[in-house]
Amino acid sequence: MRFKLGLTLAVITLAAFALPAWTHHSHGHYVDTFTDLEGIVKEVHLVVPHSWVYLEVKDAKGGEPQIWALEATGRVGLERSGVTRDYVKPGFKHDEVMKYISITNHMWSGFNMLAHLPTWKKLPAGIQTSIDRNVAKYVQLQRQDQQKLNDEARAALGRKLAMNEADAASFRPKLSSVYASWKEKLGSKCWSLLQKSALL
pLDDT bin (cut points 50, 70, 90) of residue 9 is very low
What pLDDT, on a 0 to 100 scale, did the predictor assign at position 92? Answer: 66
Question: Mean pLDDT of all residues in the chain?
Answer: 75
pLDDT bin (cut points 50, 70, 90) of residue 198 is low
What pLDDT, on a 0 to 100 scale, did the predictor assign at position 125? Answer: 95
pLDDT tens-digit map of 62-79: 888 888 888 888 888 888
Residue 49 near residue 74, CB atoms below 8 Å: yes
- Of the candidates 108, 105, 117, 25, the one whose C-alpha atom is nearest the C-alpha of residue 71 is 25
Q: Please count the other Cβ atoms lying within 10 Å of the Cβ belonging to residue 161.
A: 20
What pLDDT, on a 0 to 100 scale, did the predictor assign at position 13? Answer: 36
Residue 53 near residue 6, CB atoms below 8 Å: no
pTM for this predicted structure? 0.51
Instruction: Give the C-alpha separation, 112 to 98, whole Å.
Output: 34
Instruction: Give the C-alpha separation, 120 to 134, whole Å.
Output: 16
Q: How far is CA 70 from CA 39, 51, 91, 195, in A?
A: 12, 8, 16, 34
Strand ranges in 2-37 using DSSP code E only, listed in sequence order: 3-4
pLDDT tens-digit map of 152-190: 878 877 887 888 888 878 887 888 888 889 889 888 888
Q: Could you write out the DSSP letters of every residue in 62-106? A: S---EEEEEEEE-HHHHHHTT--TTTS-TT--HHHH--EEEE---
pLDDT at 127 over 80: yes
pLDDT tens-digit map of 109-123: 666 778 899 999 999
